[in-house]
């Protein structure tokens, strides 16, 4: 069973969509588990204070090292990976999702305010991960992205295991165009090769389309694909 722990100031956000559909069924079958930890529960004062102003001045507040450390230590799992969702972290991609799918458990820290006290990152061996080059109001959205991406890779989660083989990024390319009925819609027809029944031709057509789309839309992926 794969397990995710989410450390958040807003536990009411979860589990939401993750408890429904395919993921909900997989949850009921114990294929994975989600544990939500409210960081405020580790605060000692009556106001449940989790943040304070930064030394040296600056705008905004920081999550306190002592409170976050206590929350992590109280919910520690041996040899599991701890991730802080941060815009300055390593960019999350499909390769990293594959790595996380092989972990037994992960902990995701949802950042808020201006970030966290730097000392917590080094003393608890926390890895910083970013879901993209933009800033979110909180890490909960990023946590959903990571959990969603990883769950799709776990055996038994998807109804059709073959459906993820040709998806974007799985082979380093963006996905090829797809079509269904009706065969002609608004005077636009399905490409003839897809109606030919020739699986070899279809395979080559799809690859050529994936390559063209990747080359046009994601030059960075295209350069990496050519090197590999």
Give start and end residues of each alpha helix (H) in 34-184: 65-74, 94-101, 118-123, 140-151
> Are 2-151 and 166-227 the same fold in CATH?
no
How confident is the model at residue 158, as a pLDDT? Answer: 87
DSSP 198: -
What is the Cα–Cα distance from 176 to 207, expressed in whole angstroms? 7
Domain boundaries, given as residue ranges, for the chain: 2-151, 166-227
DSSP 216: H
Helices 21-28 and 140-151: crossing angle in degrees, nearest 10, is 70
Q: What is the pLDDT of residues 149-191, one digit of tens each?
A: 999 999 999 866 555 555 657 788 999 999 999 999 999 999 9
How confident is the model at residue 59, as a pLDDT? Answer: 83
Based on DSSP, count helices (H) and strands (E) in the chain, helices before strands.
7, 9
CATH of domain 166-227: 1.10.1270.20
Model pTM score: 0.85
Mean pLDDT of 37-57: 96
Give strand pairing partners of 129: 90
DSSP 177-195: P---SSSEETTEEPPGGGG
What kind of architecture, by CATH, is found in domain 2-151? Answer: 3-Layer(aba) Sandwich (3.40)
How confident is the model at residue 208, as a pLDDT? Answer: 97
């Amino acid at each position: 069973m794969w397990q995710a722990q989410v450390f958040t100031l807003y536990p009411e956000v979860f589990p939401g969509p993750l408890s429904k559909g395919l993921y909900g069924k997989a949850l009921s079958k114990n294929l994975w588990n989600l544990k939500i930890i409210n960081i405020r529960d580790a605060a000692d004062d009556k106001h449940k204070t989790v943040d304070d102003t930064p030394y040296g001045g600056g705008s905004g507040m920081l999550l306190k090292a002592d409170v976050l450390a206590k929350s992590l230590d109280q919910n520690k799992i041996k040899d599991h990976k701890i991730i802080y969702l941060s815009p300055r972290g390593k960019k999350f991609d499909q390769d990293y999702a594959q790595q996380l799918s092989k972990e037994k458990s992960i902990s995701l820290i949802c950042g808020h305010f201006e970030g966290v006290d730097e000392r917590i990152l080094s003393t608890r061996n926390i890895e910083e991960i970013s879901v993209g080059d933009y800033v979110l109001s909180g890490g909960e959205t990023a946590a959903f992205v990571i959990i969603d991406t990883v769950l799709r890779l776990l055996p038994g989660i998807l109804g059709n295991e073959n459906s993820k083989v040709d998806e974007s990024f799985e082979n380093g390319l963006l996905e090829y165009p797809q079509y269904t009925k009706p065969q002609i819609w608004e005077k636009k027809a399905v490409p003839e090769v897809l109606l030919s029944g020739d699986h070899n031709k279809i395979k080559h057509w799809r690859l050529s389309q994936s390559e063209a789309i990747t080359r046009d839309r994601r030059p960075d992926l295209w350069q990496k694909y050519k090197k590999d």
